[in-house]
Amino acid sequence: MKKILITIFILYHLPSNLSAKSEFFLQGINLFNKNKFEDAKLKFEQDIVFNPKSELSYLYLSKIFNKQNKKNLEEQNLYTVILLNPKNEEAIFNLAKLKLASSDYSKSLELNKRLKLICKNFCGQSEKLKTEIENLSKK
């Protein structure tokens, strides 16, 4: 009987918890699109509290840190996205660009090769990045 009550309690409260999680993320997206980065950052962090595997919240945090020129925090969040989803093309591409900007050509090239193996949406950007890496590494 106790197990049934616990199951009913969980099932009753589960939808409200799920909507709270996605609500933080949606509010974060809304604020991000309005360039309210500090407020958006808080919402994405709240989403992560409820959903530690929210790769999109980490991805948006990396975008916020990019806009704020906080490269170390951007990099940490990109690595977290890739840890959660090794096939996240946008995170791999952004990390490759970040490594290129810091003159880490070998890591940028390695990430770009990884991107080419899985690309569906970032194939064109990957080709441009490859050319950019080759040109900058020759200097």
How many residues are there in the chain? 139
Instruction: Name the percent of the chain lying above pLDDT 70.
Output: 84
Averaged pLDDT for residues 26-31: 98
The pLDDT confidence band at residue 5, using thresholds 50, 70 and 90, is very low
What is the C-alpha separation between 17 and 15, in angstroms, rounded? 5
Annotated domain spans of the chain:
1-85, 86-139
- What pLDDT does 18 receive? 46
**Winning range, highest mean pLDDT, from 13-17, 69-73, 114-118:** 69-73
Q: For 89-107, how does the pLDDT look when each residue is reduced to its tens digit (9 = 90+)?
A: 999 999 999 999 999 989 9
- What pLDDT does 139 receive? 62
Q: For the whole model, what pTM was predicted?
A: 0.80
103: left (phi over 0), alpha (psi -120 to 50) or beta: left
Q: Does 13 have pLDDT greater than 80?
A: no
Averaged pLDDT for residues 54-70: 97
CATH of domain 1-85: 1.25.40.10
- For residues 83 and 62, the answer to whether their CB atoms sit within 8 Å is no
- What pLDDT does 20 receive? 46
- What pLDDT does 72 receive? 97
